[in-house]
A = this chain, B = another copy of it.
């Protein structure tokens, strides 16, 4: 017997890509959101345009847990290619909703799953004529049925449909009809609602449901980026797309109709980052977004930007590596590579957003930090964060906020007869030197930017002493950044357990849930979320205050753990890796299991309880 649960379920839609299902599925998630219930949808899509399996998985959870959860309560299976595995994936006691236009072969039946056949295609063909419409409305029909089965408010879905087709009003009635058809079929055929179902709440507040990449793009818009140079690559492409569409809305000069921005689709990633360097060197806020292979290709320029000290904001929306790897799956697999990218001794600033709201904030902050530190700043997003909608705080911008352009001298500064300027002279002791933008002054302030070694006056030098002074100063500069990157977030006022847990980015949702589960089992685990690199003092302190610290991340080699050990001179024995690297977002259950296992093996359980 299925257990009865309200607002706590996982539903998965199994579709074929290119059949218009994405829109119907999106309506479902949005309807839950509108009903005031926390929701977390995940798109699991192939690296392909049409005809392959794609899944849309939605977790509904009124406690607000947004992590992916293992176990599927309801599976809407409309892809014959994957029938077997879809049915197998349903939790015992769950439901299988399928298209019964054709009879389901007996071998697919499961005793412990309720099989709910709906002749979706048949209904659609009975009511619509054009084949393409039959295909599209089939999706709305199953949405209607799901609404009945799960008690989703039909009015809410209708409202969403009306908004969606606001400019194509004649599409509204046929959609309504399809919705009703599905709804009624389910009402008439099954006992509705099911035991797992939803119910209106008021738990959303002013939160929004937005993709990380969309928020990132908005961050760079508010942060004052005017130059975007990029090369298409999943899952970063939608940043460029969103930047373009917002720029076209808010960055057109009203008098002339001209653009207060420039977007260039570069010929490849090497060119994209080269253009960023040219743009920032010349004083315009510029950035690029890429992933995986793009980062590899950018390595030469990354080292250049580090060494010649040219600001460069680089957004890495990570996907499954190495190589082309799993381009439509998520991972946090480039952490180490980005931290030390390019040949020679280097170290780069990293930002780790874990919500779209932070994508927005760090999208703007990254531009500031790049200018302030005249170096490469990576924002380490990932496919899960970037391409899925997340429930998150609304975006906020202080209208009086000024861009931090860093240490840039103006023509006026050069009028000061006491100014003794040298491009790479550390006058403030923080490792950051003063730069000039070309054309600042007719006779003062020009200098030569180069990736070969140079002295304080930006002159070429092969002196070992000049070199050592230079690289030591740059290292000092990156150290200074510790205080400027977003600090670690602590989930408790004071440390109260010998056990600690560190996480970052998209491991956060699952880690918080895992922490709660441990707590409800009487095990306290202190937690900290890392938001920036180089690490600040809080990170050191947190680790020092715990005997064992679990580092939760989504890669194979425990890359953040390596970074912690190497940068903070931590004994590796203290840091226990908790890893997930199969390309799917990590679940709380996974974390709990791995930590449990470690604790029981090490007999720590006793001690902690």
Q: Please give the residue numbers on chain A whose beta carbons come within 8 Å of chain B beta carbons, in ascending order.
A: 46-47, 292-293, 295-297, 299-300, 302-304, 306-308, 320-329, 331, 333-334, 336-337, 340, 342-347, 450-453, 462, 464-465, 467-468, 471-472, 475, 555-557, 559, 562, 565-566, 569-573, 581-584
Contact = CB atoms under 8 A, between A and B. Distances in A.
Nearest to A472: B556
A296 B346 CA distance: 12
A566 B571 contact: no
A56 to B, nearest CB: 15
B451 A583 contact: no
Contact of A343 (B321, B566, B572): B321
Given A345-B557, A572-B571, A303 B323 contact: yes
14 contacts: A293-B300, A297-B297, A320-B453, A320-B467, A322-B342, A323-B342, A323-B344, A325-B467, A329-B467, A336-B340, A345-B557, A345-B559, A468-B581, A565-B565
Contact of A296 (B321, B343, B471, B581): B343
Pick the 10 closest A-B CB pairs, nearest first.
Answer: A321-B344, A322-B344, A464-B582, A323-B451, A296-B299, A307-B323, A324-B451, A345-B556, A296-B300, A324-B452
Can you tell how many copies of this chain the complex includes? 2
B566 A566 contact: yes
Contacts of A583: 462, 464, 467
A334 B341 CA distance: 11
Contact of A303 (B296, B336, B347, B559): B296
Contact of A46 (B302, B346, B462): B462
A572 B575 CA distance: 13
Given A452-B324, A462-B46, A581 B343 contact: no
B581 A471 contact: yes
A328 B462 contact: yes
Nearest to A566: B562
A582 B465 contact: yes
Contacts of A555: 344-345
Contacts of A562: 566
A332 to B, nearest CB: 10
Contacts of A333: 343-345
Contacts of A468: 581-582
Contact of A307 (B325, B334, B571): B325
A439 to B, nearest CB: 25
Contacts of A471: 556, 581
A505 to B, nearest CB: 16
B329 A304 contact: no
Contacts of A296: 299-300, 302-303, 342-343
Contacts of A331: 344
A573 B572 CA distance: 11
A292 B462 CA distance: 17
A6 B45 CA distance: 76
A320 B471 CA distance: 11
A476 to B, nearest CB: 12
Contacts of A465: 582
